[in-house]
Every structure is written in structure tokens, then in C-alpha cells.
Amino acid sequence: MPPISDRTRLISSATRRGRGRRPVNPPVERASTMLSDDPARMQEGSDGPVYGLDGTSAARELRTLLADMEGAADAFLVPSGLAAVTVPLLALLRPGDEVVTTDAVYGPTRRFLTRHLAARGVGARFHPADASTDAILAGIGPQTRILLIEAPASLSFDMVDVPALAAACRARGVLTVMDNTWAAGLAFRPLAHGIDVSVQALTKYVGGHSDILMGGIAAGAPEVLRALTHAIEDMGWHVSPDDAWLALRGIRTLPLRYQAQARSALQVAQWLQTRPEVAQVLYPPLPGSVGHELWRRDFDGAASIMGLVMKGGDTAAAHAFMRALSLFGMGYSWGGYESLVTHETPQLTHRLHAPALPGQLLRLHIGLEDPVDLMNDLEGGLAGWQAQLNA
């Protein structure tokens, strides 16, 4: 049979033959203790998990699908997307090491670097979000152990040349970790582009319904997998069987939701770009947007989240825009079925090299609603914005 697509692959494991009569989905197995029939086999891994921490059926199935999707030798589940970033850093760094990452890195990741790791003797260096490949590599010093890549990066959606950075780091013995949440493990395969560890917040598109928190970590090299396994065992990380079950449910429909939301997002982005109140739409799939060329070269799909840079304005106008919307929830996170809006200008103050934007920055997440209804709603938001500016 010719190779099958992600859409098929993520479903076909459910209908695998030879496991007897059973429901399509595994049961939710809530367990700390697992019982054995024979004292000589109590530690026997081939009989199934020895203890609840090893993860029951849904978690194991989900790990297999994630590893398969990422082209990884193995994948791990951790309790949040943030933990998916922090666990590899804890596993692979030692005092005296340094991490290089983008100034536009996800905020809580930045806090982990500057607070937790700094207190334990690990340094962090932040390159400007729009730095060239050469400039990023020039920032790598003798102490640098990991280049942490996030592309498109948080809030400003800057892209970097991932294959070039991965190859240069490998040549210098620097490990690369990529936060691949935007691509949901689908639109970009970090490991196939030379990245050592690919992580994502399964909270976002894999969960897809804004009802769980979870992270996924995928890697290929045996020594990296060993370090990750030890860190997870040593720190006692675990995800609940109920959450693993929900993530497994979510991943079956991931490709369809992801594609449908990206289609709507592009439609909304193109429309927003024509509006006189809008200075810029930050959305790599949009021609002319920040990151468009690299996105087109390296990615096969897109998330449905974008930055909306307004012409001027202030906090009151941004809030008026948000209050005038009725279909967009005001809430953090993204990747669920529902559209969301946030005001992000205040977040930019944490950066060392804040981007020079001509106005307020809002963030839109486009859900599974009809995009025509969303554009009508945004029309009302823009009217609210304008009314506040004229007040």
C-alpha cells in the first residue's frame, strides 16, 4: 500500500485488527495500582504497565501516535505545554550551561529561564526576534548547550530558518529544542529538519476543545531519549487517564480541525488587511506578512492565530474593540474550536528588544465558526474601536 496521510494514520490505529471484540475507543483506566497474577511477573513490563505512573492504554496509544506524527523514536506526555518545554531543558542542561532563544519566546518559558534556571546556574541569552541566521549563530558561545527555537514565535509571529539553524548547531555540538505548538505536530516536522527535541502544547490543537492541559515531547537520539526518560521518572511527571483519553479523542480529528481553522483564518486575515483601522496583520501564511517566505518554504499548513496591529490607538480603544465583539471569547490559549481575542501590547514590555509597532497589538484566534459571521463580528469590533477613538 502507498504511504497513508496524517488524516488516515491518526485514525487507523483505532481500527487495527486482532485485538478481539472491543469498543472503538480504549476505556478510561484510572489506576495507581496495577495487579499481577504471579509474584515472579510483578515487574514484567511486557505484561503491561507495572504502576499507574507508567501510563495506561489511552496514554500509551497517544504517545505512539505523537511519535509517529513527529517521526520520532518515542514521545512523552507531561501535564502542560509549559512542562513540555521545561522538562527537556531540565533534562539536558547542567550548571554553567547557557540557552540561546528568541526574545519573542513564549512568556512562561522566558520566566522559567530567567527565574528557575538562572537560580541554578544556567544562563539565558535572548536574540532579537527578527535576527538573521548569522546573527543568531553569532550569539552562540562556548557555554551554549541548547538553542531553543519557537517559530513562528509568540505574539509577533517571527520566523527563523530552522533547517539552517539546526544544521549549524549540530555541527557545533549544540542541541536544538523546538516549541512546535503552532504547527501542532502536523504543519512542520522539526525532527525531519534536524531538530533534536520537538515539543508542543497538546493543550492547543490536539486537545482542541479547551478542556485539558497537556504537553508532548518527541525525540529520536537514544542519549536524548534516555535523558528525557530519566528526568520524567525522577521528577514523577504523569498525565491523568481522563486527560489522555480526551487528547486521544482530540487527535483523531486534529488534521480536519487544523485545516478548516487555517482556511478561515486566512480569509479573516485577508479581509482585516483591507481595513483602514489596521496597520498590519501578523500571520505567516498571509503574503506580505512577517515570516511569509520561510513559512511558504518549510511549512505544509498553518495555525489559526494572528496578530492584529492597529493604526495607533490606546488601551481604551483596544478594550472597546474587544467589548464590541460578541462571537470572540476573551481568553488566553488557542487551538480550541472557539474564536478568542486578547490585547497583547502589555506583554511586549517584557522583551529586551520590543518590536516597533505603529499601534496596539491584539491577538485573534479563529475557531470553527463560519468565517463570514466572524468577519461581521469583527466589523462591529472595528466600529467600537473607531467610536472610542472619536470619543
Residues that bind ligand PLP (CB under 6 A): 80-82, 85, 106, 150, 154, 179, 181, 201, 203-204, 213, 215, 333
Compute the least distance from the CB of residue 85 to ligand PLP, in Å.
Answer: 6
Q: Which of 218, 199, 212, 219 has its CA nearest to residue 239?
A: 212
Compute the least distance from the CB of residue 202 to ligand PLP, in Å.
Answer: 7
Residue with CB nearest ligand PLP? 81
* Calpha distance 49→278 (Å, rounded): 54
Fill in the DSSP letter of residue 240: -
Q: Which of 184, 200, 343, 158 has its CA nearest to residue 254?
A: 184
Instruction: Supply φ then ψ for residue 278, to 5 degrees.
Output: -100, 130
Pairing of strands 305-310, 278-282: antiparallel
Residue (81 or 384) nearer to ligand PLP, CB? 81
Compute the least distance from the CB of residue 150 to ligand PLP, in Å.
Answer: 6
Compute the least distance from the CB of residue 76 to ligand PLP, in Å.
Answer: 14
79 touches 214 (CB < 8 A):
yes
Q: In what order do the strands lie in the sheet with 329-330?
A: 278-282, 305-310, 361-365, 340-343, 329-330
Compute the least distance from the CB of residue 236 to ligand PLP, in Å.
Answer: 18
E-state strands within 311-360: 329-330, 340-343
Largest CA distance in the chain: 79
Residue (56 or 154) nearer to ligand PLP, CB? 154
Q: Which of 148, 126, 145 has its CA nearest to residue 135?
A: 126
Residue (91 or 317) nearer to ligand PLP, CB? 91
Q: In what order do the strands lie in the sheet with 175-179?
A: 74-78, 215-219, 197-201, 175-179, 144-150, 98-102, 123-127
Compute the least distance from the CB of residue 181 to ligand PLP, in Å.
Answer: 4
Compute the least distance from the CB of residue 274 to ligand PLP, in Å.
Answer: 28
Helices (H), 236-291: 241-252, 254-273
Residue (81 or 371) nearer to ligand PLP, CB? 81
Residue (150 or 196) nearer to ligand PLP, CB? 150
Residue (182 or 385) nearer to ligand PLP, CB? 182
Q: Whole-angstrom distance between the N-terminal and C-terminal Cα of the chain?
A: 66
Compute the least distance from the CB of residue 305 to ligand PLP, in Å.
Answer: 8
Residue (25 or 210) nearer to ligand PLP, CB? 210
Q: If you count them, how many residues does the chain have?
A: 391
Residue (247 or 320) nearer to ligand PLP, CB? 247
Q: Which of 345, 16, 77 has its CA nearest to residue 212?
A: 77
